Amino acid sequence: MRSGDVGPCCLPPLLLPDMEVQSELASVGAKHLQRCINDLVSLLALPAVWSGGDPSQVLHTLLDALMRMLRLDLISVTLTDPVDGAPVEIVRLAERKGPMPSAHDICTALGHCSNNDSRKWPPVLRNLMGEEDVSIVAQPLGLQGELGVMVVAAARKDFPQQTEALLLNVAANQTSIGLQEARLLSHQKRVASELDQRVAQRTAELAIANEELKRELAERKLVEQALGKARSDLAHVARVTSLGVLTASIAHELNQPLSGIITNAGTCLRMLATDPPNVDGARETARRTIRDGNRASEVITRLRALYGKKDAAIEPVDLNEATREVLALSMSELQRNRVIVQQQLADDLPLITGDRVQLQQVILNLLRNASDAMSTVDDRPRDLLIRTELDENGQVRLSVADAGVGFDLHAADRLFEAFYTTKNEGMGIGLSVSRSVIERHHGRLWATPNNGPGVTFSFSIPCESEGMTRDGTRASRIPLASDGA
Amino acid sequence: MDAAPRAAHSYGMELRQERRAAERPLVSVVDDDESVRESLPDLLGEFGFAARAFSSAEEFLASDSVDQTRCLILDVAMPGMSGPDLQRELKLRRRELPIVFITAQREETVRPQVLEQGAIECLFKPFSDTALLEAINSALRLK
């Protein structure tokens, strides 16, 4: 403590008696020290207030404290590296009676040190500004002044006293610590939020990729479903196409027994109306009516079996019986086309395992093709021979031989192509679908020209013992239309 | 539906009474379908006609009924010789009979064609007995 720095009301020490002055000096000195220590403690407690990590809060609390403690007239803090919105410069001015040089003037005065390195500034700069003697102290912030600089000024000649300089120093240190902490904290926050952002982005990317995958899966499922449906539709179309062609025959088949029913019933009424009623005759007409009704019912059952949309049913099949049914149904159409049908169905033909309806479709297709092949033949009988036998390979074989126009040998390999047709109204799916049906039964479908006119179409299928087992447990079971085959 | 059979029935009765004295006109039926062949003759009998049935045009031509038949009930679609074929054949043999065609086909072209060739009528199966009777009577009135 220097002499003469106690305050404005002190007298030169020589004028006072030694002892009084000493003790008075001592008590004033002690109070002063005490105040200084209190201030020091407050400064040291500041970091607790700064725990929020906000640089501007740091500065404002510091400036408030310093202004009060040191009775400053001006404080200016300049931060060299502003962080997160901390002000580049804060200036506080105390209210004074007289005019005070502005911060600008002070900075200019400092600048006249011709040295912008705050570490090299004089600790104290006394300047005459206007009427006043202004003492300016510059404190660098940060270990090497990298954080900024704090400039304080007071219009007192004796500023700063030793204690005041100490407090300023401590304040500067605390500020540096506080600012460093604030910077660290905000850096941490930045890193954390960057990390959060990256995680969020990643999550979003993953979510998008996930959605796309889900969408693709759903699409694929739809496509597979559509494919399955298209396959079974195609099988149905193959069946139903023959339906269109046979419509005339169907009407024919049903209208015959219906006609019989109506005629018999009319006759019955007339017979009963005679005097005396012809009961025997009426009875006979009633009997015939029932029989015709049953005939019609059979026709419908056969048609439904052939054209109803059923799933493939694997079972043992008697190919002869299946053939007879198909022939019965298509006989009238064949006869209308003047086709003469001969059957040679082998006795004791072994059973085969497969889908009866699909196989009947194939037989129907072959019969129609044979009939169509002979539609322009007039110089010879339109003979159609349908034959079943056990062939030399032990397989069940069915063949349909016609006496038609034959096929061009060059086109032989195209016969079974889908959509290949030589007919004007044909759709060309008959032979292609037929072949795939037979192949699904582990069989073969082929065509050979006859020795005479016409062609023989044949298919062969393994017997029940070699083919499928009823529960489909053979390794190569017949794939159904709905399979992904 | 009730009125028609009664009206036709009474008409049929008249015809029958008329014909009891005279010979009953022969109506021949040619149809490959069994139901038709079995049911028509009895109905024709109730109308007062004599009836014979044949399962094919060939069978009819080979029989002795050709000359005696006053009206022919003829199916259109048959294996072998069809109804229109028989119509042509009879023309060629100058044995033209009035023909009432019956058919189960609903093709639009069949009826105009056979009518153009001189058929009295072409009925679609199933037909009513009154329609048949009217057609036969038209045929007989021609003679």
Over the stretch A321-374, which tens digit does the pLDDT of each residue have?
999 988 988 888 888 888 999 999 999 999 999 988 888 888 988 998 899 889
One-letter amino acid for residue A415 of the chain? L
Residues of A in contact with B129 (CB under 8 A): 262-263, 266-267, 270
Mean pLDDT of the region B57-66? 94
Using 50, 70 and 90 to split pLDDT, how confident is the model at B138? very high
Q: Indicate the domain borders of chain B.
A: 3-142
Q: Indicate the domain borders of chain A.
A: 13-188, 311-485
Q: What angle do CA B123, B128, B129 make, to 5 degrees?
A: 105
Q: Are B126 and A336 inside 8 Å of each other by CB?
A: no
Give the distance from CA A18 to its chain's centroid. Answer: 97
Residues of A in contact with B78 (CB under 8 A): 335
Q: Spell out the alpha helix ranges (H) of A274-381.
A: 279-307, 319-336, 356-373
Q: Are B36 and A256 inside 8 Å of each other by CB?
A: yes
- Whether B58 and B80 have beta carbons less than 8 Å apart is answered as yes
Q: Please report how the helices A279-307 and B34-47 are oriented relative to each other, as an axis angle in degrees rounded to 10.
A: 150
Q: Which residues of chain A have pLDDT under 50?
A: 1-11, 13, 16, 113-115, 424-429, 468-485
Q: Please report how the helices A247-273 and B129-142 are oriented relative to each other, as an axis angle in degrees rounded to 10.
A: 80
A257 touching chain B per CB within 8 A? yes
A263 touching chain B per CB within 8 A? yes
Contact residues for A60 (Cβ-Cβ < 8 A; gap 6+): A90
Phi, psi of A112 (to 5 degrees): -70, -10
For an interface test with A, give the residue of B13, B14, B36, B42 to mutate (most A CBs within 10 A): B42
The CATH number of A311-485, from 3.30.565.10, 3.90.1170.10, 1.10.3720.10, 3.30.465.10, is 3.30.565.10
| ipTM computed for the complex | 0.78
- Confirm or reject CATH 3.30.450.40 for domain A13-188, answering yes or no: yes
Residues of A in contact with B39 (CB under 8 A): 259-260, 263-264, 267, 285, 288, 292
Nearest CA in chain B to A286: B39
User: What pLDDT, on the 0 to 100 scale, is given for residue A288?
Assistant: 94
State the smallest CA–CA distance between residue B31 and chain A in angstroms: 10
Q: What angle do CA B115, B118, B120 make, to 5 degrees?
A: 70
Taking the C-alpha atoms of residue A62 and residue A57, their distance in angstroms, rounded to an integer, is 8
A337 touching chain B per CB within 8 A? no
A383 touching chain B per CB within 8 A? no
Question: What is the residue-wise DSSP string for A227-243?
Answer: HHHHHHHHHHHHHHHHH
Give the distance from CA A183 to its chain's centroid. Answer: 43
pLDDT digits (tens, 9 = 90+) for A76-108: 887 776 555 555 677 777 776 555 566 666 666
Task: Inform me whether the pLDDT recorded for B56 exceeds 90.
Answer: yes
Q: Spell out the alpha helix ranges (H) of A355-441.
A: 356-373, 430-440
Task: Inform me whether the pLDDT recorded for B52 exceeds 90.
Answer: yes
Sign (positive/negative) of CA torsion A284, B24, B128, B39?
A: positive
Top-level class of domain B3-142: alpha beta
> Order of strands, edge to edge, in the sheet holding A132-141?
A89-93, A74-79, A148-154, A132-141, A124-129
State the smallest CA–CA distance between residue A285 and chain B in angstroms: 7
Taking the C-alpha atoms of residue A415 and residue A445, their distance in angstroms, rounded to an integer, is 11
User: What pLDDT, on the 0 to 100 scale, is given for residue A173?
Assistant: 86
Residues of B in contact with A332 (CB under 8 A): 77
Nearest CA in chain A to B102: A259
User: What pLDDT, on the 0 to 100 scale, is given for residue B85?
Assistant: 92
Is 0.90 surpassed by the pTM of this model?
A: no
Tokens 């219009």 appear where? A155
